[in-house]
Structure 1
């Protein structure tokens, strides 16, 4: 059975233009989000994960802009809409943002205003997408806080974000993202800066909400352990490109790209010898404005083929197929 695609990204390119030059933050990203499933997007900081999320909702800060590609909501149906072609401030885009697609921001303390109570902010989000009375909006806001597991939700409505712990603030952020009853949810590193116990609680909450509300989830993280637990399909990003895509079991059993293998080697294991150094990836992600020629990963790659990797750019992974953007035998789809 072919699963319905809720959102299809095709050859998405994002540029930041300034007096110092042009930065290619995204360079031809293609992804599929299947209805009711979880797409994990993984990679180091600076690989373009958050820019991809913000591009979908047209939240790219100036001087950034979408310079190419399409973002198709409900692709292949009469309701198909190219979000990349919409005015970010249009009524249609504002109805999609929060209404059809919700976003859990990476840092809840900056996503929530410190000047207003949790209740005020949540009620505003509810009213934005539902034609209901103030009393109904308040009841809906209280119910949302209860849905995300906040104790005494009626009391918490009067609290300010700085009065809450990091875990509770993140739960409020999830409630805000659910206020418009979206069918697609983008979680941008939802466990950042949380302790291990709270991280597990937030991930369990996301799994429960996805099952109960049949939400399509795009989970952005740098944690391969979270990917293993949560994702159905995985896209590995490096310097603004998808370098590998595969079902989660296939990716962990037989990673095709050297970058993916390096990320997996860097994951701590309980089988490691005491005091053994963790594996690392040499070097750092290059600045997008100083992109290497050929394969962008070749300066850090222990399996480089030499001149070919330095001079030629591997073909992109076709959407919907498992494969890697790499010249090594067996890597391509």
Structure 2
């Protein structure tokens, strides 16, 4: 059986123009056909495997910060200081009391599960086209020889509404569009408030970061991680940092799989029911002149059950320059150059996921 995901858009559709990813086998179908099978192309070199010696043993002081969104939105100075600490020292935090209802979160997860429950032939109708990264498939596959992630995904542009390409949205699932739109609007609300607070911390007016985005965009990566008989040999997602300004992750409440690079080892991000994980992206790193840094993270697999997650990425307009803002160069030399966001996205999507390696392209004195 040919498991590769090779259908998709028409040749007349020019796609996003960001890059493309090669078609690869569906991991979900590999597991369905043989639950013990782990093909060679997914087995990592020893030094890249999620082995015990690479883990960080946390103590009570090494928990990822938790931010109370309701206090942040009310202008509480202590909570703003906590956000500053989280962005500087961790690059990751979880937010609670964000106002996104349990129903909206549940409906979003249900929509993702429903998509991946569809037959392969139905999912392939929404496969990535040759010239696009939107749709069903896998991302950052640039070579027929690279190691693959133990994950299937569907990637969509969700904001602004006029940028949505509905040929990639499964029309046979009645509740999918409604669930994604509602969740997308809620994340848009939360992201604007968080960006507003970061803007203040960067010495700007509250709405300046939003303005820097130009036409602010939003994308979603909906992930399906099948169970794996040998989770010690594979990764669900390879180490990487996110390319946008900030990201939001809706985790599975029951399975700990997301890990961040902390003190040169991997620290699990334990799910808090109904919380959202937020992380600084490469764009904020550049705009802040390196004061706030994006953090390397990855996802592992497990032997017991499949897992889903939803990553939502806030992005500037493609033509926006992502160099340091003036307020972040008052008592700090410029460390990053001005570059169009589109050029950075194209550069990174033309390469494999490789930790923080892509951010060298943003820094002064570095070349492609």
TM bracket, shorter-chain basis: under 0.3
Instruction: State TM-score, norm by structure 1.
Output: 0.24
Q: Which of the two has higher C-alpha Rg?
A: 1
Instruction: State TM-score, norm by structure 2.
Output: 0.23
